[in-house]
Amino acid sequence: MDSTAKNAETPEETQQDQTQIHQNPLPLLPTASISLSLSALIPSHFLPPKQFAAASSNKLKIPSQISSLSHFSLSSSLPQPKAFFKSTISANPLQNTLTLNPLRPSNPSGAAALRRAAVVWFRNDLRIHDNECLTSANNDSVSVVPVYCFDPRDYGKSTSGFDKTGPYRATFLLESVADLRNNLQARGSDLVVRIGRPESVLLEVAKAVGADAVYMHREVSHDEVKAEEKIEEVMKDEGVEVKYFWGSTLYHLEDLPFELEQMPTNYGGFKGKVQGLEVRNTIEALDKMKGLPKRGDLEPGEIPSLMDLGLNPNSTLSQNGKTAANASLVGGETEGLQRLRNFALECKAKPNNGSKDGTNDNIYGANFSCKISPWLAMGCLSPRSMFDELKKSASSMISAASNKKNGGTGASDTGMNWLVYELLWRDFFRFITRKYSTSKQQSYAPATACTGAAA
């Protein structure tokens, strides 16, 4: 009687037990589902040896329902997470979703990964050819945003009452910026032009497009170095990397046989130190460039006029109303490269043999700087490209000079020595300015133009 009473169940208790069973099903199927999912995802060498061996030796018969559930657990059991712009981690660790923010590899030599967007700040490097800054940004990023800023601090009157930037230089600059935009557009890109302080403009552009880095060439003057420091400061607060490059001299800053702090303060000492240094190869101009990013809806902007910069357009005219001689120079990389080629052809056609009294009154001498220097100063030409172009012409002239019976002195007759001499002087002044313009430099010594050490 007692056992029968114990085994007897009331209808209410039976109904409760069945309800409990339906609410809490046995964990057999989910467990099998998850284990199958992990075994399909985790390579064999991550599993314990003994357990793996035991599992492989026994043949398990799994119902088709469980097999289908294991597939279901990988594909449909969990909802797909919604992509969020700044998120690089999937909500489900078993799923690999494509992220909108590509990850940079921790090992640069490993698998390649691109930045989402990079901003290239053009300064005194208004060219496509031999531009390491632009080329690196294009190779590193999915999209590239070239930017030029007309800084209001560079215009207006100085404390002495003179124009900080005169109308002739400003006109040449505007033409160079317009030519740069045309060259970028021809390669599938564009130039974003703004009037404003670079630290504000670049930050606004970087935030609008979600840029990972700002690429720029280093400059040498005190104000330019201070601008770099301000940009680095504001970008650091936003987590944007600043990448610097050097491209304004014949010899690269990193190739100098001395630290910049120990640079000789006279030209002779500098020339003696750098003699024999190799000139780096020029970087070929890009044929095709990454376009502007779609995010941010950036407007390229209009190139300002002289009036927009606070200058009088009539100041470029002489008293008789005609265009002044200085205004006949056309700015831009296209014009600069053509001038360089013409100069190289002149060097070929008219080698410098000098006159009997030792004077040089032909294409070399004082006229050299007047022919090329404006484009070199604006960065429409690079010193290395000039060196390469003249070196090509010099090779044939050296050969011709060496075959003369009463010929001159070989390489010195070709003008190459004069070219290197001029570019070395330019290097000296830029390096010495950089040495004393950094805010970290505490002691100052006067730079001299003494050539006593020059042989």
| pLDDT attached to residue 253 | 94
Binding residues for FAD: 369-373, 422-429
What are the pLDDT digits (tens) for 175-218? 999 999 999 999 999 999 999 999 999 999 999 999 999 999 99
Q: Which is higher by pLDDT, 366 or 306?
A: 306
Does residue 278 lie within any of the structural domains?
yes
328 pLDDT higher than 50: yes
What are the pLDDT digits (tens) for 291-318? 999 998 899 999 999 999 999 888 765 5
Does residue 394 lie within any of the structural domains?
yes
Number of domains making up the chain:
1
Are 181 and 191 within 8 A, CB to CB? yes
**Share above pLDDT 70 across residues of the chain, in percent, rounded to a whole number:** 59
322 pLDDT higher than 90: no
Structure tokens at 65: 């329902």
* φ and ψ at residue 150, rounded to 5 degrees: -90, 100
| pLDDT attached to residue 441 | 46
Distance set, CA 382 to CA 172, 317, 324 (Å) = 17, 30, 27
Does residue 224 lie within any of the structural domains?
yes
**Share above pLDDT 90 across residues of the chain, in percent, rounded to a whole number:** 47
| Rounded distance between C-alpha atoms, residue 336 and residue 217, angstroms | 20
What's the pLDDT band for 430 if we cut at 50, 70, 90?
very high
Does residue 151 lie within any of the structural domains?
yes
Q: Which is higher by pLDDT, 117 or 417?
A: 117
Q: Residue 340 burial by CB count (10 A; 0-12/13-18/19+): exposed, middle or buried?
A: buried
Residue in this structure with the two tokens 């120990």, named with its chain if needed: 262
What's the pLDDT band for 276 if we cut at 50, 70, 90?
confident
What are the pLDDT digits (tens) for 26-52? 444 444 444 444 444 444 444 454 444
Please name the residues in contact with 61: beta carbons below 8 A apart, sequence gap of 6 or more: none
| pLDDT attached to residue 32 | 43
What's the pLDDT band for 329 if we cut at 50, 70, 90?
confident
Q: What is the pLDDT averaged over residues 228-232?
A: 94
Q: Which is higher by pLDDT, 83 or 160?
A: 160
Q: Which is higher by pLDDT, 393 or 127?
A: 127
| Rounded distance between C-alpha atoms, residue 290 and residue 141, angstroms | 8
What are the pLDDT digits (tens) for 392-410? 776 655 455 444 444 443 4
Using a cut of 0.75, tell me whether the model's pTM lies above it: no
For CA atoms 179, 181, 184, 185, the dihedral sign is: negative
User: What does the mean pLDDT of the chain come to?
Assistant: 73
| Rounded distance between C-alpha atoms, residue 240 and residue 203, angstroms | 9
Does residue 311 lie within any of the structural domains?
yes
Question: What are the residue ranges of helices labelled H in 186-312?
Answer: 198-209, 222-237, 267-274
Does residue 113 lie within any of the structural domains?
no
Give residue 381's domain range: 118-315+325-437
| pLDDT attached to residue 125 | 96
| pLDDT attached to residue 343 | 82
| Rounded distance between C-alpha atoms, residue 372 and residue 387, angstroms | 12
Q: What is the pLDDT averaged over residues 133-150?
A: 96
Does residue 386 lie within any of the structural domains?
yes
Q: What is the pLDDT averaged over residues 122-136?
A: 96
| pLDDT attached to residue 324 | 57
| pLDDT attached to residue 323 | 55
The CATH number given to whatever domain includes residue 335 is: 3.40.50.620
The one-character DSSP state at 81 is P
Does residue 149 lie within any of the structural domains?
yes
Binding residues: 369-373, 422-429
Are 415 and 369 within 8 A, CB to CB? no
| pLDDT attached to residue 389 | 86
Residue in this structure with the two tokens 């990972």, named with its chain if needed: 212
What's the pLDDT band for 118 if we cut at 50, 70, 90?
very high
| pLDDT attached to residue 271 | 93
